[in-house]
Amino acid sequence: MNSVIVGLVVSRLSFVAHYLPAYKGDVVKMLDFRDLGFDLLPGVVAGALLLLWVVMRRVQSRRAAILAALAGVFSWSIATAFAGTGSESASLPAVSVVDMNGKLQTLARNDGKPLVVNLWASWCAPCRSEMPVLAQAQREFVGVDVAFVNQGESRATVSDFVTTQGISLQNLVLDPSLAVARAVGARAYPTTLFYDGKGKLLAVHLGPFSQATFQNALQTLYPPAVVARR
């Protein structure tokens, strides 16, 4: 168990160091593991080295240590990976949404760019906390489309929310009947889905992003040329 803890700590420290400017000196955010920002390799190496040291010192505890390590690796994979892509649709669903002018449109942008679909609601606290992060990324990473798909709320409610929060969003649409959520199998918010330029589902993330973890997701899933900043 100690090897797992050490691995998690080292993995987190490595991730924070890699994306240090994104945390803007906020120590609380650096220490907040809930954004699931981890560098897997440094943590695995650190945990393995500690485990090896323990095994060498206590041969009689080898079996217990190995079992603990296997349990830790399993837990690690659950904690650090994107939520599985076992959604209902492995490609961008062909459903209609409503823009802020009340007109029907398809979810697909059909511009050849990768598409990030964020399912959210104004009553969802994690959705509200990540909204400025995704809005900033939408402005900066022009090679990727980001669509904010509100789930089940009225146009007035959504308009009041973005106005009150002072957030400027492009591709803000409404999904009053939760058609998108049903199509992708989303059962909680925020859920963020990453599609390539052809509409193929690459990954699904459940829960809020920090600036660092969203930037890491873009850089992991899309080529460097695609995620170049404005």
**What is the C-alpha end-to-end distance of the chain, expressed in Å?**
44
Q: Distance between CA 175 and CA 148 in Å, rounded?
A: 10
Backbone Cα Rg of the chain:
20
Which domains does the chain possess?
Answer: 2-80 (no CATH), 96-221 (3.40.30.10)
Phi, psi of 151 (to 5 degrees): -105, 105
pLDDT tens-digit series, residues 153-212? 999 999 999 999 999 999 999 999 999 999 999 888 999 999 999 999 999 999 999 989
Global pTM reads: 0.66
Q: Distance between CA 209 and CA 229 in Å, rounded?
A: 18
User: Hey, how many other C-beta atoms are within 10 angstroms of the C-beta on 104?
Assistant: 9
- In order along its 230 residues, the chain shows pLDDT tens digits of 565 575 566 655 665 454 444 344 556 555 665 555 555 566 566 666 666 666 666 655 556 555 555 555 555 444 444 444 444 468 999 999 999 999 999 998 888 899 999 999 999 999 999 999 999 999 999 999 999 999 999 999 999 999 999 999 999 999 999 999 999 998 889 999 999 999 999 999 999 999 899 999 999 999 887 877 76
3-state secondary structure 109-146: CCCCCCEEEEEECCCCHHHHHHHHHHHHHHHHCCCCEE
